[in-house]
Chains A and B, each alone.
Chain A
């Protein structure tokens, strides 16, 4: 916390230090004039309300970590222990970077609040299975230092740190970041590593459709955590039920992709994939449930959440169908992140009883 912030919460009376100062004041007053009902103790003073929720930022962050676990587990199932070590490396790199900044800024210890851990974990799950583990850790360092701390730390970053880390790796190692291997469960011969295109790549460059079955279970090529639709949905539903993610964002994001993709498919089923394939392939589900719903970088207003999701959906379809890349989830979310402050500003809800001209 900066000095300013500390002052702020002190003025408003939630800072514990303030409470003890209030006590001293009260004690002085009493000393001046003995009163009939002067209590035999010092009371805690604070402005109302005097009751608060038990929710907290660490609880939210660690719950998101929990929600990602099914997808992470499937990554290990499909891509082996290397996937596990990738996650460990990214999380540790993120935590160490966070700790370093804490030390440099001399601020409150935020390493264990879960926010750095989730950044590292999410980044790891967006990397190709054969990507260098050192490279992944480097991305996590970038995500925390440049993606988050440069802006002022938790709550102040404009872009989703994990996605910014991935964008950094994509720019730095374009070949390694687009080299995919099949899950070992999907390999036919006893070959150690088989490079293969992702379902989206296959469609874009070879016009080969992947069946929906493997897309649901995740037995296809792709980034570590993005392949298994079922695992992602389990975690995503958990987040929605606990209200740790705004349901409007995945709904509008996925809905836009489905509708827009569906229109293209109806017009020309030969050159455009069907909308279900659009939904289940690539990183869309993973992005829609775990990246786009990042509270810090998505709008706070309800109308804003709809706009955010629809915007991301449109950008994604444009990139997938007309861009040079087969996949565009990362860029669609990052671009909408940039619009979030603007969206917040122009979607002020009508106040109760307000009549809008």
Chain B
């Protein structure tokens, strides 16, 4: 069957069978958590706690007055051991709150309305902000900002993103099967806040059980949402691609989904919204797929934010002897790690461990102009040219060829037969360009 999709893109093998039948298991509470004060796009949150202070699970430990920011909560009950710099999964060190667990798991819950259906919209959105909810698909954009589009934009449709197009990852897949009702409640709340009637759920067709489960609950509760299977193709879950696949609308260059009347949220985000609004639980845990051929027992794990990667890896049976690479996120856009003390953050969808066999080493050939990258780029760019222009520092030409539109999905580098680090060069180019622009502005 031909399901709707976007143009171009790639078909990497997905290895999802390692974990897609495995129910989510809760990780035993860790002894120590390291909670970064910035886990979102926007202003960093300011720490509110000091060394030695006692904190409860769900207590706010950092926040910001800025609107575009995220609230940070303690994810265990314990004592603050330190507020300082620790290793972050994105590479550098970052300001984190180190909490050592003491005994019980006492929750401090949000002050929620009795019935969200009758609660004022302002209050619901304020609660979402208070709960520290950000996009759990990977970008970690604060959700409360997304749900309050400026008055001049009319939003008519909401798309729930269950594409999960990155190979290996099954966290979203599992929650769609196991927490179907909660996710749809979250979707109802989000659509109520947005005031939109048309709800769509986009899922790649490699998750038939999730499609079935969602369809059934949508029918039972008579929600009227459209569950839309999409072709399994990377990067189906990229916001702009998803909107094109589901609604056939193209977000204009430099624009946002709301410019074409759409808001998109990940299924994990919808689940977090439901838990916050109906149970008062702030976002302090998420499901992480711990997988790869380098781990003994691949698993889907629900872990508290701030839990070191090492805890999850031990829980999944530990690394195999031949394991040589660990990264956070999917293999297409994930970040390689060199130390397993880094914590799970709100944007961590997976921890993937690779054995020597899966690590591909190449020597680059010169570009042979084959055009494979051009045929793969979902944004319709010319990656080979962008990479060359970035290398030669032709920044004006780089701008003219639309480098800023690159979503860094990595499809170009994936298909390149010369194994040129195309997307890596494009990142360099984007950086050089923004550097030049900020210099000109100064």
Contact = CB atoms under 8 A, between A and B. Distances in A.
Contacts of B365: 56-57, 113, 154-155
Interface in B350-387: 352, 354, 359-372, 374-375, 378-382, 384-385
A324 interface: no
Contact of A48 (B12, B333, B363): B333
Contacts of B251: 353
A266 interface: no
Contacts of B333: 48-49
Interface stretch (B174-182, B191-199, B338-346): B338-346
A348 B415 CA distance: 20
A354 B252 CA distance: 6
Interface stretch (B58-66, B73-81, B149-157, B416-424): B416-424
Given A43-B336, A44-B359, A50 B341 contact: no
B331 A51 contact: yes
A42 B339 CA distance: 9
A39 B379 CA distance: 39
B340 A53 contact: no
A113 B366 CA distance: 12
B47 interface: no
Contact of B363 (A60, A108, A349): A108
Contact of B338 (A15, A45, A57, A246): A45
A46 B308 contact: no
Interface stretch (B201-209, B273-281, B321-329): B321-329
Contacts of B423: 48-49
Contact of A354 (B253, B337, B364): B253
Given A36-B341, A49-B331, A300-B371, A353 B325 contact: no
Nearest to A110: B365
B414 A12 contact: no
A50 B419 contact: no
Size category, B interface: 35 or more
A355 interface: yes
B361 A300 contact: no
Main secondary structure of the interface of A (DSSP, over half): loop
A48 B362 CA distance: 14
Given A43-B326, A50-B354, A38 B340 contact: yes
A14 B424 contact: yes
Given A14-B424, A45-B338, A46-B336, A59 B417 contact: yes
Interface in B385-428: 385, 391, 400-402, 405, 410, 413-421, 423-425, 427-428
B255 interface: yes
B364 A14 contact: yes
Contacts of B364: 1, 5, 9, 14-15
A81 interface: no
Given A49-B331, A301-B382, A353 B252 contact: yes
A192 interface: no
Contact of B371 (A16, A36, A295, A353): A295
B335 A48 contact: yes
A105 interface: no
Interface in A189-208: none
Nearest to A344: B385
B381 A53 contact: no
A31 interface: no
Contact of B382 (A11, A22, A349): A349
13 contacts: A12-B425, A14-B362, A30-B339, A43-B326, A43-B338, A48-B336, A50-B336, A51-B12, A53-B414, A59-B417, A302-B374, A351-B253, A352-B405
Given A354-B252, A355-B253, 13 more contacts: A1-B364, A1-B366, A8-B425, A14-B364, A45-B338, A47-B424, A49-B413, A51-B167, A243-B372, A298-B369, A301-B374, A351-B379, A354-B402
Those 5 A-B pairs whose CB atoms lie nearest each other, nearest first: A37-B310, A155-B366, A49-B410, A12-B421, A12-B424
